[in-house]
Structure 1
Amino acid sequence: MKRLLAIGLALAMVAGIVPAVFAAGEEKVLTIGVDQEAIGLDPHIVTSFSSHRRVDLLYNKLVRHDENLKIVPDLAESWEIPDNQTYIFNLRKGVKFHDGTELTAQDVEFSLNRILDPKTASPGRSYISSIKSIEVLGPYKVKVTLSAPLASFLEGLASNNCAIVSKAAVEKYGNLQKVAVGTGAFMLKEWIPDNSMTLVKNPNYFEKGLPYLDKIIFRVIPEQASLLAGIKAGTLDMAQINDASTILLAKRDSNIVVMQKPGINVRTFGFNTTRKPFDDARVRQALSLAIDRNEIVTVAEFGMAQPTGPIPAGATQWALPLSKLPYYTPDYAKAKALLAEAGFPNGFTFKIVTANSFEGGLSVAQVIQNQLKKIGVNAELEVVEWGIYIDRWVKRDFDSMVELRGGSGEPDRFLYRTIHSTGGVNNFLFKDADVDRLLDKGRVLTTYAERKPVYDELQVVLAEKAPIIFLYCPFETHVLSKQVKGFKQVGYGSLYYLIQTQK
């Protein structure tokens, strides 16, 4: 009888139908379903959300965001700002990397220099490019001097792309895409590509008593309906579900917890501005005039998103109302006139690179495709596999692309890297003297009263130049079993608070 039971359990596990709580035995294991694989784990290099969500748990920064997006201590237990170009960070003592070595000021110095090195090609370089010098004042004290004031400096340091890595690990492995030697609450135990990733509790984590969980298992399940089915069956404890119709089904089930929060990530539709006809601002303006954000939110997101301009709509102290942005209200007659003026009276054909996942934005691209038909423009969808999508993104190999960009309530942190001519993720290859001037001016001013007019003007200029059509900010949604307690959402999707989660 015992043998039959063992065989039955083995078959059930292969079929994926054993509840996570049963399969975990005595360990406190949380199984989370995600719809796409991580594309590397090196915090200084990664760009995809799927990678960042793993990095959230494997590494730490000098400072981090709490659930209200406030800057709070992380590896730096405190800091001093004697003047607006000098920051002195006091590090926690006794923090250990996953290989058992102690984190010191030398690792901080090494990490910041690695991010700043153009050869690293780190998106984080744009956040901290104003660093003039880094001085180790002691084993646990680092002084950073800026070449000019940078209002968003601490915000930039709170990015995963500015995580602190082990100097010894980088010297040993070259890069950290397939390994993880961080200080985070969890350590990488196993990675089966396109299947699962297992993280285990870091017994030396610097926050005593944390994490509560012994193990976190990421399971890659591309279909959103299957993610919900996993929650219902108990094979998953948690899932990041983005498909609006699937979320609505989850909300109707009283046995499931749906956590939702207005987000600050931004859905965009952008162009390679070096390719014809997108090197002509009139063409980009025409396409902007054909876009109906409200229809996209209704059709692609079932209303679970907020239309936005260049600054995430949730950053209400900075974001202009869409009514004040040129080319952001649909006007098909004006769009056709601009196309004719640019030499395309009968429209033209181009391609939109997209992927069949939420981040890849296929459903959004389909709505845009239909909207552009109203002005005689034929958009062909290039639906590619996720790894190819990222490769095309990195190589700037596209006419246009639908993306989900990591947003921020701090305009410099979001827009400088995205659209400055030297920006680390300016995949649009856009160069404009007016935009650069405003971005350079906005980042060195230190008071809201000084900065607000600059970013107001910048939003109008970006709407006029239209290298990117900013669409909306999707809500952050997590679907959980009722057994999961203590998880908190962060507006840009971070899973950091899994370290305080219990099951």
Structure 2
Amino acid sequence: MKQKLNIGKFFLVLLIIMAISGCSTNDNAGTTGNEKGDKVNNGGTLVIVRLSDAENLDHHFMNTINAASITHGKVYEGLVGRDKDSQIQPLLAKSWKQVDDKTWEFKLRDDVKFHDGTLFNASAVKMNFDRLLDPNVNAPRAGVFKMVSEVKVIDEFTVQFILDESFAPLLSILASHEGGIISPNAIEKFGKNIINEPNGTGPFSFESWKPGQEIVLAKNEQYFGDKAKVDKVIFKIVPEETTRTSMIETGEAHIAEPLSVTMMDTVDASSAMEVYRSEGFGTEYIGFNTEKKPFNDIRVRKAIAHAIEMDSIIKGVFNNVGKKANSLLGSQVFGYHESLKAYEFNVNEAKRLLAEAGYPNGLKTILSTNDVKERISLAEVVQSQLKGIGVDVEIQVFEAGTFIEKRNRGESQMFINSWRNATGDADYNQFNLFHSSSKGPAGNVFFYSNERVDQLVNAGRIESDPEKRIQIYAEAQELEMQDAVYVPVRVIENVAAVSKNVDGFRISAAGYLELNDVSIK
């Protein structure tokens, strides 16, 4: 009897072990490995701490990559997108073709729904572009699609873009945040007002927004593509950089951005986080309001350009993060003019030009910037350098939103700014920043007007030959430099502090935060 009882106990223990083993296997069903061999658990809440809030959550009204990073590719998606190498790929459209120079046809996916359950189809695409281009809506991003005369529904899942004229970079703009498709229900609800409850087709759905505090997105379990690996993303607004990085140290956050160059060594020395770096499409620059005295005089602008010694700025202010720029096009952007010459450092020439312009004893001006550490440092160095030609510079630092508003309204004289170029094509830079029709919120905050530049920008849009487009943009960049509209500073590097518990995070060359592949170890 004792022997039978012991055998029974043995089988009972064996069954318990098997049961426990089976449960353990199920618990780890969501665990994968990354390239380093670390175990990664899908799920959880990703916390991103950021310098500033979005100005709005409506792609038709967004003027900054900072805002678009929250929704582009997460809540909203376009007909096409970009892969990790920045190449155009199908997204909501499964294929496309040019019927003729002025007609593009897109075949749409038939298995996509918006977050509110509405079916994505050709009518939804048409409604989006009708709203964007409606003059009564007055959307600031309408200008980038001004060549579109009609979006035509061919059948439920086929749509055509009818253009007024040939437009070579159409796909590049459709892949940027302006091309994001909004739910028809949201458009009907908000009409010409800014949409504050974004509703799209992406891997994350909008949950809540407390302006100035946080924006929360939740995983879209019904997403048609590869589902996000985290359950939720919280974008917290934390203006103080040391607080942002400390939150990663304490485990309160996973990603802090942007990261200033002055904090990079601190992050590198941490056992909890590391520095993420990647070259972007965009550039940083010092701009002039060409309609506002004294910078309505080209000689004054040239004098300032000659008086700034950029090599020491790149090294001293930016610690060689981001290479010195010679244009407002980044070196990875199609149409970049590699041999363009910026103004050489020449104090005597700067003084001569100022005297010729009627300022032999110098002048006073205001240099404005937003509250980013490197930009404040840059402003201080520029202030010091310009003293050498008798220019007395007052620095004004504003919170990001206030800075953008003042700049867009033309209230700035001289300002530090950046343009991240969401498409990787010269047109996005040239049309938005330099075309006379784009003055103000659309991007031309120089309030610059040059008839020949307008002609070139227009020509670059309709030219289908890539080599001819490169030549067109080269001439445009040369004219803009001759007119001293800006002083190029550096090609932007995307820099962030990232917890060592995070895998799969990246920032696209356009500057969008890419979160779909992010997981937490």
Residues 125-154 of structure 1: CA deviation (Å, up to 9, x unaligned): 333222232210111111112222212111
Matches within 5 A, 1:415-494: 415-423=430-438, 424-494=442-512
The aligned counterpart of 2:252 is 235
Letter in 2 for 1:191: W
Residues 296-344 of structure 1: CA deviation (Å, up to 9, x unaligned): 222322110112133433227633346x42x521111111111111111
CA-CA distance at 1:172 after TM superposition: 0.9
The aligned counterpart of 2:58 is 42
Partner SS state of residue 515, structure 2? helix
The answer as to whether partners of 2:260 and 2:495 remain within 8 angstroms in 1 is: no
The aligned counterpart of 1:361 is 375
| 2:363 maps to 1:345 | no
The answer as to whether partners of 2:328 and 2:419 remain within 8 angstroms in 1 is: no
Letter in 2 for 1:402: I
Structure-2 separation of matches of 1:125 and 1:415 = 16
The aligned counterpart of 2:385 is 371
Q: Which range is displaced more, 209-218 or 399-408? A: 399-408
| 2:104 maps to 1:87 | yes
**Percent identity of the aligned residues?**
30
Structure-1 separation of matches of 2:444 and 2:420 = 13
The aligned counterpart of 1:225 is 242
The answer as to whether partners of 1:93 and 1:140 remain within 8 angstroms in 2 is: yes
Letter in 1 for 2:414: S
Larger Cα-atom Rg:
2
| 2:164 maps to 1:150 | no
The aligned counterpart of 2:90 is 73
The aligned counterpart of 1:5 is none
Partner SS state of residue 129, structure 2? helix
- Change in CA separation of 1:445 and 1:61 when aligned onto 2, cut-off 3 Å: same
Letter in 2 for 1:458: A
Letter in 1 for 2:116: D
| 2:421 maps to 1:409 | no
Structure-1 separation of matches of 2:248 and 2:517 = 20
Residues 140-170 of structure 1: CA deviation (Å, up to 9, x unaligned): 1111122222121111111212211123312
- With structure 1 as the length reference, what TM-score do the two structures score? 0.89
| 2:211 maps to 1:196 | no
The answer as to whether partners of 2:435 and 2:444 remain within 8 angstroms in 1 is: yes
- Change in CA separation of 1:120 and 1:363 when aligned onto 2, cut-off 3 Å: farther
CA-CA distance at 1:345 after TM superposition: 1.1
Select 2:300's aligned residue among 252, 263, 283: 283
The aligned counterpart of 2:201 is 183
Count of matched residue pairs: 474
Letter in 1 for 2:355: A
The answer as to whether partners of 1:421 and 1:432 remain within 8 angstroms in 2 is: yes
Q: Which runs of 5+ in 2 are unaligned?
A: 1-40
- Change in CA separation of 1:474 and 1:242 when aligned onto 2, cut-off 3 Å: farther
Matches within 5 A, 1:390-401: 390-401=404-415
Matches within 5 A, 1:109-148: 109-148=126-165
- Change in CA separation of 1:297 and 1:149 when aligned onto 2, cut-off 3 Å: same
CA-CA distance at 1:119 after TM superposition: 4.2
Partner SS state of residue 301, structure 1? coil
Structure-2 separation of matches of 1:499 and 1:279 = 46
The aligned counterpart of 1:263 is 280
- With structure 2 as the length reference, what TM-score do the two structures score? 0.86
The answer as to whether partners of 1:59 and 1:184 remain within 8 angstroms in 2 is: yes
Letter in 2 for 1:37: D
The answer as to whether partners of 1:264 and 1:473 remain within 8 angstroms in 2 is: yes
CA-CA distance at 1:465 after TM superposition: 0.6
Runs (4 or more) in structure 1 with deviation over 6 Å come to none
Structure-2 separation of matches of 1:276 and 1:500 = 49
Structure-2 separation of matches of 1:317 and 1:387 = 30
Structure-2 separation of matches of 1:269 and 1:461 = 17
Partner SS state of residue 431, structure 1? coil
CA-CA distance at 1:26 after TM superposition: 10
Residues 415-451 of structure 1: CA deviation (Å, up to 9, x unaligned): 1111100123112221111111111122211122212
The aligned counterpart of 2:32 is none
The answer as to whether partners of 1:420 and 1:439 remain within 8 angstroms in 2 is: yes
Structure-1 separation of matches of 2:134 and 2:387 = 45
The answer as to whether partners of 1:185 and 1:210 remain within 8 angstroms in 2 is: yes
Over the aligned positions, Cα root-mean-square deviation in angstroms equals 2.1
Structure-1 separation of matches of 2:506 and 2:136 = 36
The answer as to whether partners of 2:42 and 2:229 remain within 8 angstroms in 1 is: no
